[in-house]
Amino acid sequence: MRAPPRLFAAAVVALALTTPALTTPARADLTAPEVWRGWQSSGQQISAQGETLTNGTLTLVNVTLAIPLNTAILTATIPRIDLSEQGDGTVAITLSPESDLRLRVQGASGETLNTGFGVALPGLRLIASGDAARQNYAIDAPQITATLTETRLDGEPVDLQFTATLRDLMGQSNLTTGPQSGFASTLTANILELNAKGRDLGTPGERFALTSTYGNIAADLSGGTDQVSTLSHGGAMTSLSVDRPGYVPFGWTSSTTAGRLSTTLRAGMINQTGRISGMDFTLTGGALPLESFQARVENVDWSLRLPTLPRDTPDDIALRLDVGGMTLDQTLWAKFDPTGALPQEPASLHLDVTGKGRLSPDPLSPTGTGPGVLHTLTLNALRLTMAGVALTGQGAFQFDTSAPGTSPAPDGTLDLTLDGSGALLAKLVQLGLLPADQVMGAQMILGLFTTPTGDDRVGTTLTFTPDGKISANGQRVQ
């Protein structure tokens, strides 16, 4: 069964999922029943409790769309949809101003997560054209708002509030039915606003509040056998606060100049690449020794490959991460290094990991292994540079997965090299930031687990065994 038409109908009918789009030449004779039959024949579970055709308007009552998603099911319910023939070969689609979405996740061990959303669509304009086999949709939505109405974990209510508001959504959509069914789309929106607050289930008494705003949003989506999407924005702002009794409240604020995310779903796998540009962020409170911490990151690039379906055999997995141009705010530098003794070149991080893994069939189970199981993991490259110090590494590990329901310890080695640490420690002593005797003690301890490999350069090999033991250059550390 093809998944893309299933997503398309969710978009067109509920407009709570992504809406597909591309223009194609239209034939001016589309009828209201053809629109409805097109939705029904696109490979999904869609039905209406009542259908009435009067003077070219097909009225559908209590329309339900069910979308299976692996171990979950998403259900959209729209009280009424009017499909009105316009006399020029197009059909105007009017949805109830408010609809309902429900998501149910069922774990193999019986755990359940149930969520409900109310979707408001004031002022929505949706026009269908084309013919029965190729339907095109022009979309104009001044505002779409999804509000979380209920969250229950194993029947118990969860203290969580969430709203998502999309403003000035415009685009065109194309749905092709039949043996070569698929979709393509291009959408734009002015602003996306996300707001969430609630209680952390893992920490008693801890509460959080999150607000994010994205501007100048663009989306391109297409699919047949595969599903491909590219999302981008022209700037974002995020604010997060965490309050825990007995602790100093923690805060995070950030802004970015642009972002991009490309995703491909194919044969039970997800391949994704992304970039965030021009991020400025500030941390306050929590366990920080300073009143605030400000920094900038010029770019963050990543790519990943993961399975989306549980299988008996492991799949290829991969993660590549590059963080470039990370700098501290100059006022922060001036507080502990007024003379400029420390190198202030931008910090960077490069990480390249590949391996084999399986997705867990029951990620909600408290006795399971979590979202997945690793079989092998290879650190192809690690390089972290900051303040004149460089840390590099390579390694490879295997995991014994023969015992079900357990998280096996890694079996393998990790080779690390540290370059420039001696010079950095000497400058920290010179600035009075570290006592000389503590630095000397740290260097002596470091010497027990490393081997000099050059001028101000040391290396070590960390060995991990299946029984959980860890050694560094032959010295037991765990």
The pLDDT value recorded for residue 178 is 67
Q: Of the segments 9-23, 187-201, 216-230, which one has the largest average pLDDT value?
A: 187-201
State yes or no: pLDDT of 33 exceeds 50.
yes
Instruction: Write out pLDDT tens, residues 304-345.
Output: 999 988 888 899 999 999 999 999 888 888 887 888 888 889
Range from 21-25, 179-183, 448-452 carrying the lowest mean pLDDT: 21-25
CA 269, CA 262: separation in Å to the nearest integer?
14
State yes or no: pLDDT of 352 exceeds 80.
yes
Mean pLDDT of 216-239: 91
The pLDDT value recorded for residue 95 is 94
The pLDDT value recorded for residue 246 is 82
Mean pLDDT of 181-204: 88
Q: Of the segments 170-179, 194-203, 290-299, 347-356, which one has the largest average pLDDT value?
A: 347-356
Mean pLDDT of the chain: 86
Which pTM value belongs to this model? 0.82
Distances (CA, A) of 325 to 32, 284, 390: 56, 22, 15
The pLDDT value recorded for residue 40 is 84
The pLDDT value recorded for residue 434 is 83
Is the pLDDT higher at 43 or at 384? 384
**Which band of pLDDT confidence, cut at 50, 70 and 90, is reported for residue 363?**
low
State yes or no: pLDDT of 395 exceeds 90.
yes
Q: Residues 300-324, buried b or exposed e (16+ Cβ, 10 A)? A: bbbbbbbbeebeeebbebeebebbe
**Which band of pLDDT confidence, cut at 50, 70 and 90, is reported for residue 52?**
very high
State yes or no: pLDDT of 429 exceeds 80.
yes
Name residue 242's amino acid: V
CA 388, CA 406: separation in Å to the nearest integer?
41
Is the pLDDT higher at 379 or at 71? 379
**Which band of pLDDT confidence, cut at 50, 70 and 90, is reported for residue 276?**
very high
The pLDDT value recorded for residue 114 is 92
Contact 164, 125 (CB under 8 A): no
Instruction: Write out pLDDT tens, residues 248-272.
Output: 899 999 999 999 999 999 888 999 9
Those residues with Cβ within 8 angstroms of residue 147's Cβ, 6 or more apart along the chain or in another chain? 117, 118, 119, 120, 162, 163
Using a pLDDT cut of 90, give the percent of the chain over it.
Answer: 55
Picking from 76, 71, 79, the residue whose alpha carbon sits closest to that of residue 104 is 71
Is the pLDDT higher at 171 or at 439? 171
State yes or no: pLDDT of 7 exceeds 50.
no
Instruction: Write out pLDDT tens, residues 66-107.
Output: 988 777 889 999 999 999 999 999 999 999 999 999 999 876
Those residues with Cβ within 8 angstroms of residue 333's Cβ, 6 or more apart along the chain or in another chain? 340, 342, 344
Instruction: Write out pLDDT tens, residues 454-468.
Output: 898 999 999 999 888
State yes or no: pLDDT of 13 exceeds 70.
no
The pLDDT value recorded for residue 179 is 67
Range from 8-17, 113-122, 439-448 carrying the lowest mean pLDDT: 8-17
The dihedral over CA atoms of 292, 293, 296, 302, expressed in degrees to the nearest 10, equals -120
